[in-house]
Amino acid sequence: MAFQRRIFSGIQPTGNLHLGNYLGAVRNWVALQAEYECIFCMVDMHAITASLLDPDELRRSTRELAAAMIASGIDPEKNILFNQSQNPDHATLAWIFNCVARMGWMNRMTQFKEKAGKDRENVSLGLFAYPALMAADILVYKATHVPVGEDQKQHLELTRDIAQKFNFDYQKEIFPLTEPQIFGTATRVMSLRDGMKKMSKSDPSDQSRINMTDTADQIADKIKRAKTDPDALPDSIDGLEGRPEAANLMGIYAALAGQTLEQAVADCAGRGFAEFKKLLTEVAVSHLAPITAEMRRLTADPGYVDGILRKGGERARELSAPVVAEIYDTVGFLRP
């Protein structure tokens, strides 16, 4: 059976939307919306898996994230933009997937291991089940393609495993085997303080990331203080090997300037970091300032953003309702 091409992606409203989210995910979504039917979801139910959040803060983050996506160029009329909890079908399918996924599969999830750390006995059951909810987010719309950053690859493999096992167990081709779409020059943006660590919302140091809400001065300051090495920039990509900070900053520069890494390296060959950092600041500020300004304008009017999310939620439920009916019949649940 051929499945209609449909794109789904999600992002957590946990504050601090940063350049990694933008370059690794949101910017690619903007490129995809021209061609395909897209569903973009603020996954507020995932956001409470690490710990319960202050309710006002979660509402604020959800609205801010929606504003950031619209400001980055996501068209909420053309696409469906909503927060996950507005469509309870995600949770319904997640429960069924909890009964499909095996403990062994979930135990292998590196993101869980990283987030749980040494405190495995004390993390929430929701954190462990997180990837099953993610599979439900995608498959409740039978989405065929999921654009994400590289860190989500393993979760998408699990999504395929769940789809495959469900299809096999019920001997029906209900779910597609979803493909990850990992593309762009910055699929893994690293911390400004440590080129071996991913730029992350949860890094305690704000200096480690460029936030989408940062002012031009903050961006300049963070880039100025970003970790580097003492050498000048190389004249080939090979010369970036073993220089994680240089590679990261060059990757960011290329992505923001709209160049390939080869072009960017050629342009900057032989420059010292002081000079390069000025160039990087210029492209970062000129790219991000209009987005930040638009975000501020949108967040000043929460009613507008709430209206978009509500309408998106309705459209999302219309798409998932027939899938859930099909799942009820397949599993043997009596329909309401």
Catalytic (active-site) positions: 115, 198, 201
127 binds ligand AMP per the rule CB under 6 A: no
DSSP letter assigned to residue 211 = B
Q: Which does 134 bind (CB under 5 to 8 A by kind): ligand AMP, ligand TRP, none?
A: ligand TRP
Distance in Å from the first CA to the final CA of the chain: 28
**Angle at which helices 89-98 and 302-331 cross, to 10°:** 40
| DSSP bridge pairs for 147 | 181
**189 touches ligand AMP by CB under 6 A:** yes
Residue 199 found at the interface with ligand AMP (CB under 6 A):
yes
Q: Whose Cβ is closer to ligand TRP: residue 14's or residue 228's? A: 14
Q: Which of 27, 29, 60 is nearest to 44 (CA)?
A: 60
Number of other CB atoms surrounding residue 268 within 10 Å:
21
At which residue do the structure tokens 């946990």 appear? 14
- 60 by Cβ neighbours in 10 Å (0-12 / 13-18 / 19+) ranks as middle
Contact range with ligand AMP by CB under 6 A, out of 20-28, 29-37, 267-275, 303-311: 20-28
Does 12 bind ligand TRP (CB under 6 A)? Our answer is yes
CB of 12 to ligand AMP, least distance (A): 4
Q: How far apart (Å, rounded) are the C-alpha atoms in residues 270 and 276?
A: 10
Q: Which of 137, 203, 214, 245 binds ligand TRP (CB under 6 A)?
A: 137
Binding residues among 139-158 for ligand AMP as defined by CB under 6 A: 148-149, 151-152
Alpha carbons 186 and 72: distance in angstroms, whole number: 16
Should residue 201 be labelled a site residue for ligand AMP when binding is judged by CB under 6 A? yes
Q: Least separation, in Å, of the C-beta of 156 and ligand TRP?
A: 8
Provide, rounded to whole angstroms, the least separation between the CB of residue 249 and ligand TRP: 23
Element (H, E) at 97: helix 89-98
Binding range to ligand TRP, per CB under 6 A, among 10-18, 73-81, 294-302, 315-323: 10-18
Per CB under 6 A, residues contacting ligand AMP are: 11-12, 20-21, 24-25, 148-149, 151-152, 187-189, 198-199, 201
